[in-house]
């Protein structure tokens, strides 16, 4: 990693630390500071975990797909999560759904989404890693199928149950369970460390299949490892706060723009830190400046959609 990359990462880390301190300490007043700090620290941890998971997973997925306009959400993770919540509400009712143990539900959602992704990746890439476009197309089709099923089941729910489904169909950082954070933080940290240790192989993978194989890379094995990490990271983020579709696109674009390099040792931490700065800074802006006049997840999705259109119109497909 060169000196410029180190300086950029240091600046991003300092910016994140400053925003975190500002968001935690501003407006404490003379009330129960310990209780307020505890609530804010829980939300701050959730923001950072989600940013790290989405940022790293998006960079990894774009490397495998060799396309800068794709994100892991295209594989149907978000749609599967919404379908799962819809089926749970339809089968258990509002009271039964609310009474589900948070920890068991969280782990079950991660296991189900990871298993689905691993099965899809393994089947389509079993004969070699040339089927990445087919895998992506299959993910798109499955996403449409899951959304259609969710819509169908939602039509037979009563209004109260449907309102519950709608409330969990969008990302929310205000309903994070503190008991879930240690597991989410541990899994994200391990997956992020594994991805960073793979950085030299990711640099070779980004060259394309034929050049990578000619350089001695076990292409299929590396692709499966990377997609496994993507599945775990996206599953943790989605199960923790809900689906976030376009945020990764913004973060990955910022990482490439700041670093102006294809070195994953620099891209991965830059994407993670940039995402954390955007989420923490955005949450501070909406809570302290705008007085909750807007919802962060909605603004992020809107900005991400515009950025997606920009990339398409400019032809930035790599």
Residue spans of the domains in the chain: they are 31-314
- C-alpha separations of 126 from 58, 163, 218 in Å: 23, 41, 14
State both tokens at 154. 């939602």
Mark the ranges of the chain whose per-residue pLDDT is less than 70. Answer: 1, 29-31, 120-132, 171, 288-305, 307-318
Those residues whose C-beta lies under 8 Å from the C-beta of residue 74, and which sit 6 or more positions away, are 136, 139, 140, 143
CB atoms within 10 A of CB 128: 11
What burial class does residue 172 get, using C-beta atoms within 10 Å of its C-beta: 0-12 exposed, 13-18 middle, 19+ buried? Answer: middle
Give the model's pLDDT for residue 98: 78
State both tokens at 89. 């509400």
How far apart, in whole angstroms, are the C-alpha atoms of residue 73 and residue 230? Answer: 10
Give the model's pLDDT for residue 166: 79
Those residues whose C-beta lies under 8 Å from the C-beta of residue 97, and which sit 6 or more positions away, are 88, 89, 164
Give the model's pLDDT for residue 190: 93
How far apart, in whole angstroms, are the C-alpha atoms of residue 293 and residue 127? Answer: 52
Those residues whose C-beta lies under 8 Å from the C-beta of residue 25, and which sit 6 or more positions away, are none
The CATH architecture of the domain made up of 31-314 is Orthogonal Bundle (1.10)
Give the model's pLDDT for residue 130: 55
Q: How large is the C-alpha radius of gyration of the chain?
A: 20
pTM over 0.75: yes
């Amino acid at each position: 990693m060169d000196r410029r990359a180190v300086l950029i990462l240091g600046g991003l880390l300092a910016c994140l630390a400053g925003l975190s301190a500002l968001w935690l300490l501003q407006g404490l007043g003379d009330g129960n500071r310990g209780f307020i700090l505890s609530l804010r620290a829980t939300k701050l941890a959730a923001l950072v975990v989600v940013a790290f998971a989405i940022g790293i997973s998006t960079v990894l997925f774009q490397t495998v797909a060799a396309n800068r306009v794709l994100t892991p959400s295209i594989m149907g993770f978000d749609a599967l999560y919404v379908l799962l919540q819809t089926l749970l509400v339809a089968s258990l009712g509002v009271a039964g759904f609310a009474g589900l143990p948070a920890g068991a539900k969280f782990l079950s959602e991660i296991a189900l989404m990871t298993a689905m992704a691993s099965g899809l990746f393994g089947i389509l890439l079993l004969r070699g890693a040339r089927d990445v476009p087919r895998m992506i197309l299959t993910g798109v089709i499955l996403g449409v199928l899951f959304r259609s099923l969710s819509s169908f089941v939602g039509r037979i729910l009563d209004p109260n149950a449907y309102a519950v489904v709608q409330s969990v169909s969008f990302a929310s950082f205000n309903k994070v369970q503190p008991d879930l954070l240690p597991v989410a933080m541990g899994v994200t940290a391990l997956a992020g460390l594994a991805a960073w240790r793979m950085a030299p192989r990711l640099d070779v993978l980004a060259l394309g299949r034929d050049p990578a194989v000619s350089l001695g890379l076990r292409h299929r094995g590396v692709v499966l490892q990377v997609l496994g990490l993507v599945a775990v990271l996206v599953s943790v983020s989605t199960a923790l706060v809900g689906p976030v579709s376009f945020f990764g696109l913004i973060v990955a674009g910022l990482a490439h723009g700041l670093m102006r390099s294809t070195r994953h040792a620099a891209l991965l931490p830059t994407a993670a830190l940039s995402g954390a700065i955007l989420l923490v800074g955005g949450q501070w802006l909406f809570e302290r400046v705008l007085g909750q006049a807007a919802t962060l997840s909605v603004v992020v999705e809107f900005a991400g959609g515009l950025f997606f259109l920009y990339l398409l119109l400019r032809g930035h497909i790599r």
